[in-house]
């Protein structure tokens, strides 16, 4: 998370738009302000200069091409989505937007990340006492296509609006 600050990824863009107060609030919200967050650990801050009231900060896994790493990385990516929803539901948030977590500088392939994200969000939303609207937001058409294919097969749970 921290090592990617400054690159033009979603995290960097959020910090750029929200301003320095977002980083200060994130550091203050952590149990140990000097320590980095662990993978799938979540802290929530105000949105400051963003249109969102809240921002859930989490560290996502870096993709690893070794087949033996995929199960662990999938579990970590799933936990990122799940824990963000849990944390935001504690604040009675009813509308959540997710970028394609780990698909930028972390190199996850959209086709691998999409089913992980969709399944994690469905599980977390089903466990929540809140009615939730979940948006998946993309900068690139490849992400939209991968998520669309997964969501079309999940019409039992998701109301897909593209």
Q: For the residues 52-62, what does the mean pLDDT come to?
A: 93
pTM of the model: 0.88
Q: Which residues contact 3 (CB under 8 A, 6 or more apart)?
A: none
Q: Which of 134, 137, 140, 141 is nearest to 159 (CA)?
A: 134
Answer yes or no: is pLDDT of 97 > 50.
yes
pLDDT for res 1: 28
Dump pLDDT digits (tens) for 27-40.
889 888 778 889 99
Answer yes or no: is pLDDT of 105 > 90.
no
Answer yes or no: is pLDDT of 5 > 70.
no
Dump pLDDT digits (tens) for 120-156.
999 998 888 878 888 888 877 788 889 988 988 876 6
pLDDT grade for 24, boundaries at 50, 70 and 90: very high
Q: Compute the distance between CA of residue 38 and CA of residue 60 in angstroms, rounded to an integer.
A: 9
């Amino acid at each position: 998370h921290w090592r990617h600050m400054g690159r033009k990824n979603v995290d960097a863009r959020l910090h750029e738009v929200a301003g320095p107060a977002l980083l200060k609030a994130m550091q203050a919200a952590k149990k140990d302000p000097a320590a980095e967050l662990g993978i799938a650990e979540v802290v929530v801050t105000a949105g400051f200069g963003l249109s969102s009231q809240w921002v859930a900060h989490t560290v996502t896994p870096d993709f690893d091409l070794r087949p033996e790493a995929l199960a662990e990385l999938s579990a970590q990516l799933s936990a990122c989505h799940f824990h963000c929803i849990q944390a935001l539901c504690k604040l009675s948030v009813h509308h959540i937007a997710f970028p394609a977590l780990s698909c930028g500088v972390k190199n996850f392939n959209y086709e691998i990340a999409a089913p992980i994200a969709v399944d994690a969000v469905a599980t977390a939303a089903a466990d929540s006492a809140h009615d939730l609207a979940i948006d998946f937001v993309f900068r690139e058409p490849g992400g939209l296509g991968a998520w669309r294919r997964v969501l079309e097969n999940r019409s039992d749970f998701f109301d897909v609006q593209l």
